[in-house]
Amino acid sequence: MVDDTPARNIALLIDADNASWHAIDPVLTVLAELGPVNVRRVYGNWTKPGLKGWRDMTVRHGIEPQQQFDLTKGKNATDMKMTIDAMDLLFRGRVQGFGIMSSDSDFMPLAMRIRQDGLPVYGFGDAKTPAAFKHACTRFIDVGALLASSRTAVAPPAPEGDETPAGEEKPPARRSRGGRGRGKPAAADTVVGTIDDEEGDGGDDGAETTIADILPPSIGPRGGVKAPDTELLNLLIDAYDATKRDERGFVNLSSMAQLAANRSSFDVRNYGYRRLSDLMEAVPNFQSERREDGRVFVKRVR
């Protein structure tokens, strides 16, 4: 049965001074619960060297940068511009949900006002975010816990020339059971990292495994088919983990694809395939199953 319900239009507004760019991938994945994040804006004074990480993310994720100079010392004009833009979006009636990425309690009145119009507001901040803002949101997600619970094989490399914003600590190096990194992907890398099965018994020697070691020869670059890179593999794993599973552990490929599309402009044609289902049949550690109604379901094999 086809769902004819119109897709909701979601806006993500980011306070670059009070949010870590490291969490943008999982934040976009969580917001997919509400719908496609078509409005993506990040606010800050881009003359500050500490916002270099966010500047790189604007290109990678199609986020529109909004410039706001620091007009008065000790006063943050960025918050005011974010609030004005949020109210404009609200009154136009074309947005059905908001994400506010900040740890600043000044956004509490904004979150409450949006909710009064019946729209959900997801807040994303650190553990020290004041309770007032947390409770004003429909849901508040601790980005530190969100990153810690990430279940992917590769920790994200920092953008080239990254500088950590003032007052923001770099996330600690990720260590995990069986040697698997638990961070969100950001860019393709030659080394996947130590790969083990889900039960954590791992390999015999714990040696690093390259992408060539885990991809079957049949899906190498021959014949116009490009081998999936680590960024794609981790994107698919993240989307699978975030999708509701049936009693046998399978997820609807269409639902999984919607989650992946919310975070990436990935297109299967870039890898030489016509359909996502064709690519999934070639990706290692995934099992595909086409059911009687024609829908395709996939399961991650440990």
Could you state, in order of their start, the residue ranges of all structural domains in the chain? 10-148, 213-300
Share above pLDDT 70 across residues of the chain, in percent, rounded to a whole number: 71
Tens digits of residue pLDDT in 61-75: 999 999 887 766 655
CATH superfamily of 10-148: 5'-nuclease (3.40.50.1010)
The region of weakest confidence among 97-106, 138-147, 165-174, 246-255 is 165-174
Q: What is the pLDDT of residues 181-219, one digit of tens each?
A: 333 333 332 222 222 333 333 333 333 333 333 333 333
The pTM for the full model equals 0.61
H or E element at residue 13: strand 10-15
Beta strands 97-101 and 121-125, pairing class: parallel
13 C-beta neighbours (distance < 10 Å), count:
24
The distance in angstroms from the start CA to the end CA of the chain is 31
Model pLDDT, residue 46: 86
CA nearest neighbour of 35 among 86, 98, 87, 84: 98
Fold of 213-300: Nucleotidyltransferase; domain 5 (3.30.420)
Instruction: State the pLDDT at residue 160.
Output: 52
Q: What is the pLDDT of residues 29-38, one digit of tens each?
A: 889 888 999 9
pLDDT at position 299 over 90: yes
